[in-house]
Every structure is written in structure tokens, then in C-alpha cells.
Structure 1
Amino acid sequence: MRFVTPTLSAAALALSFGTLSFATPAAAETTIFYGHSGPARGTVPAALKWFDGRIGELSNGDLKLDVQWGGALFKASASVQSIGDGVADAGSIISAYFQKEMAAYSLADLPLGGPNPWVGLRATDHLMRSMPEITENLARQNLVYIGTFTASDVNVACKGAEINSIKDIAGKKVRGAGVYGKVFGELGATMVNLSVYEAYQGLDTGLIDCTQGYSYIIPALKWHEVIDSYTVLNWGQIGGYGMFMNKYSYDALSDEQKAVMTQVGTELADKFAQIVIGANSKALTAMRDGKFERPVKVIEVTAEEQAELNAATVPFLDDWKENAASVGLNPDQMIEVYTDAVAKYTAEYEAEGYPWERN
């Protein structure tokens, strides 16, 4: 079932009934029904609202998103099948829920890209657009890649505890995120299965000592009300999170509409980086400057400990390679394409700064 819907504008309808005496071209508006599992607030909703405005701008009002928030169309854990089956024209997919289906995209969840969200976003977008094998793998699932988000760099917030070094991870009860949680488990933490939205209660009741998360989440989910410390790991990010479209719905678009979707999807990497980096910076500044009611100590691990964390990730990288190969992808080639892009965009950032900061 497909929902991409062309509708006539009010002016065109009025003209058709003879209520306007001047010549007006019949303007069609194509609505793309989009499913998002989260609420209509935060970094991703801000980006989706920007995306909607930008496709409208470039298509002269011909394209628009109709976003259904809060899992109204499907839950996050059902997004791949739901979009592929046409429950929506498009939607947000989190690769961590779909290790087989999103084998290529889940490369962005490994710490190969480092903690810089802009570098990770641009490298991930390059990977997803530049390899025909990935496009074909998605097409077999009736999916088309549109653009990418990131949950940003993974850090750790604690109540009644501090992680000042890697050794402090052992013995802590921790809610984890993807491979980063698995690494903490290998380093001696007791992992507790909670969603990010349940972490506040877990910290407040003592069910967990710490939770992995992202800086912008601190004020968004009010973790600052319960945590005492926040350790910046300088490690990696959850980057397999983005916009995908039902292939039948995508194929129903005109060539001009497809070109708009590709352009805005590509621009999304820069725009979302600007949004999430700004939100992270604001949250970190608030903690460092003591602007929350409860003081939060900000800690940063050393480069040597970051290297230790990366070394502990190697077995999980091997697991990812095996998984990618099992669905017919070339993991070594994907890693080469991705890490080359990381190097390219890291060099660009170091030489020129972020795109939105340039003249």
C-alpha cells in the first residue's frame, strides 16, 4: 500500500470551478507520509521539520512531508518491514534493531569514525550513496536511502559514582548503547537492559549506576536531576540512524522530485550536524558552568584510555564483518570506503572548520 498523494492546490481547485478569472497553473502537491517513532521534539524532529521546508522550497511547493510522530504508524523495532511493506512512504530507521537488514548502515555504529558528529555524518552519507551493492541490498528490501542522522558521540552519565578511567567501569551497573554497551560488558560492567527513556528512573532508583548516552539528552530527558558525573569518552558515535523511503513510493516520484530528495538528503548531513553539535555544546556548557540545580562533574578520559576502548571493540568489528558478509556485502571494501571518507572529512574540518562556520 502506497500513500504518496498528489493533490491540487486551493487556487487550482478554485480555477477548476470557475471562481478565479485569471490564468493560474494547476499546482500539484505531493505528500510523503513519514513515520517517526519518537515524539515531535528534539534534534531529529527539528531536522525533519527543516527537511520538510527545504523540499518544499526546492520543489516550489510541490513536495511535503506529513510526519506521524510517536510511533503512530509503527514502532522503531518494526520500521524496516513497515516502510518496505508501504505502511508509510518513508520513515526513520535505527540500524541497531536490524543487524541483518541494515548490515551496511550499522558500520556507522562502530567507533571507526571517531566522536565528531559532522565527520561521521558526512562519511556515512558518502558510504550509503557511493556503493551500488548497498543500494541493491536495500532495493531487495523495497527500501531507498534518503539521508542520515546520528545520535552523536557516546558518553556515560552516573549517579553516586564516577568513571575517571577505564578501570572504573568494572563492577558498575550500566545501561548500554549498541556495541558501546557490549564493550563495557567486556570491561567488567553489569549490563542492564533498559531503553534510553527508562534510564532516568533506573538511575533514580539505583537499578543502574550509570547510563551511556549523548550530551543533548541530559536536559532533554532531565538526567541532570539525578546524575552526579558525566564522562566524555572521545570514543565514537551511534551513526546508523536515518531516513529511508519505500521503493515503490520513491519510484512513483518524477525525476525532478527524486533530484530534490537526493539534494536535500545530502544537505541533511551538514544541517543535522549543526543541530546536534549545537545541542551537545549547550548541554556540556550548562554542566561545566553549573547551570543545573544539581552539580554535575564533567570528566574526560585520556587519549590512551580511548585507545584501550577502541582495542576492546575489535572483536565486535569482526562480528560486524561476518554479519555483513552473510548478506552478500563486502565488509573490507565498505570499511575502506568509510574510513577514507572519515580521513577526508577530518582533514577538511581541521583545515576549514564546519561548513556553517565558513564565510
Structure 2
Amino acid sequence: MPHLRRDSFTLLRELMRWRVAMVLSVLIFALMIVLGVINTRLGLADTAQLAWISLAVAGGCIAALLALPKHHGGTVFFVSIAALLVGVMVFGLHHDRPMQHWAYIFPPVLVFLVSSRVALAGMIAFGAYASAMLAPLVPAIDVVRFSSGYGLLVCFMFTYALLQERAAVMLRYHSDHDALSNCLNRRTFNEAVEQLASGRTPAAGCVFLLIDIDHFKAINDRHGHLAGDRIITLVAAELGRVLDADMPLFRYGGEEFSVLLADQDPEAARAIAERLRAAVAAADFQGVPVTISIGLAAWRRGEGSITAALDRADRALYEAKRGGRNRVVADAPTA
């Protein structure tokens, strides 16, 4: 489930890229008007033509950014600028004008468009291409100077992009995960539920498992809160060991966990819940006896609200508690 969702982290990243693209489009649009006018007045018809072409590209990007969804609009902008820069090199060769100063824009454009390693390959390829376009127009030493400066820029941009990617991975992990249990957190659970309810995932339904550590207050009172924290961590690890990789485990709150089983048969889900219960009951928690109670309820799109299914799972959990704990109780429709 988590890899299918368009979560708040992804949406924020797309929004920021869209804003950068919009600001740059407006700045390029204004700058090209100035350059077009100046070159026209100086009688430089070819560079004036390039400015008007760039103006048209910037105008088209602004229209795309306003008309398209933000993730598509940002991509259109950076692809358009990259294509423009490739064309500028050919334009310069055709008009016997060296355009190497435009080439320095290409590396940061790629950093916004693709992953760091793909960007590195693209930057190197474009550098070789720009040098080839420049070679017939300037002395060899100027080609060497351009290549050296461009190469240093590529090194800095690749390092920056790599650091940004690593920082984003770390930020996303800590944004999505609970610090104590290393499970996915409640915010991530809410987003996964919202994705299901809105139909933005392929899953047609799911089974919710709500899990609660039995007598957790007594564990805290008898062994201390640090021991209670350790029990939460160990129970989470035991649950994660039993679950398959595509079965996300969330810390629902306090000593409660939840599992979201997409497109799972209710009877199969109950069998999974029984395995979870048995695994925790049989595990060694450093001398502290620990069991869990589990309530489950199924939901299918078009058959009631997903919130109602969660309420049914919650009621089933309390029924398991009232029935003696260390047991699985399914909501009546899934029995």
C-alpha cells in the first residue's frame, strides 16, 4: 500500500517543484522580452530570433503550469527547457555564434527532472554534445576552458543532487514511521485509508486488523514505562516478522497497532490475525508475559463507508478484550 499512495510528502515535493517552475517561467519570459528588444535594436536578428523563440517556450510553459496538474506541469517546464537548450547549441552552430554560456543551465534543469544518477549521465552527454557544437566556432583552448568549467559544475550539481536524494529518503522515512516502534505511523495510516476511500489505488477493498497489547497499563505499572516502551518495540518487531512485505503494519496509537490487508479474503485475514496472536503469545519478551487482542472487519468499495468498517473493527477489538483477551474477534459480516 505505501508505495501506491500519493502521500503528503510527494504532494509537497510536487508543489515546490511547480512553484520553482512557475517562478522560472515568469523570469525567463520577462528576460527574453528584454533580450529580444535589445538584440532587435542592436540589429542582431539571429540572437533576437532566439530570444523570441525562448519567449514562446516560456509562455507555453506558463500556460501548461496553469492548465495541467502540478506534477505534470512541472515536468513539462523542465523537459521544455532541456529541449530548448539542446536546440540552442544547434542554433549557435548554424548561425556561427558560440552559445556555450547557455550550456551551464542544463545541469540544474536535469537535477529537477530525473534522479541524480540519470542526471549525471545526461549532464555528461550534454557536455560532450555542447563541446562538439562549440569546437568549429572557437579556438581549441576555449573548448577546453568550457569543458573544464562545465565539468566542475557537473561535479557540484551531482554531489548536491545526491545529498538531496539521501536527505529526502531520510526525511520521508522519519515522516512516515513511528520513532519508537519503527512501524508506519498514524498519519500514514490515515493517508492510506484516504487513498482507498477515494479510489486512487487499485484495491477494491481491504480487511482492517486492529491490535491491542493486553494489560499494557499493568505492564507499565509493574515494570516501568521504559519496559513498556521496550514491549511496544518488541511486539512491533514480532508482528513485522510474521507479516509479508506487502502487508503494512502501523502504530495506531499508544499500545495499539493496525494492519491494512488490501484485497484480502476475510477468512484468510482471520488466519493471518491468528498467526499474529499466536506469535506474540509464544515470543519471549525478557520474562514479561505479553499477549494481544485483535479485532477485524472487512470493507469493499460500494458497500458502506470505510470509516464504518474501522468502527466495526474497533468494536470487534473491544469484544475480544471483554471476551478474555489473547484472542481474535471478527466483525459479524466477516465471520
State the TM-score, normalizing by the size of structure 2. 0.25
Q: Which has the higher contact order (CA 8 A, sep 6+)?
A: 1
Larger radius of gyration: 2
State the TM-score, normalizing by the size of structure 1. 0.24
Give the structure with the higher percent helix. 2
Give the structure with the higher percent strand. 1
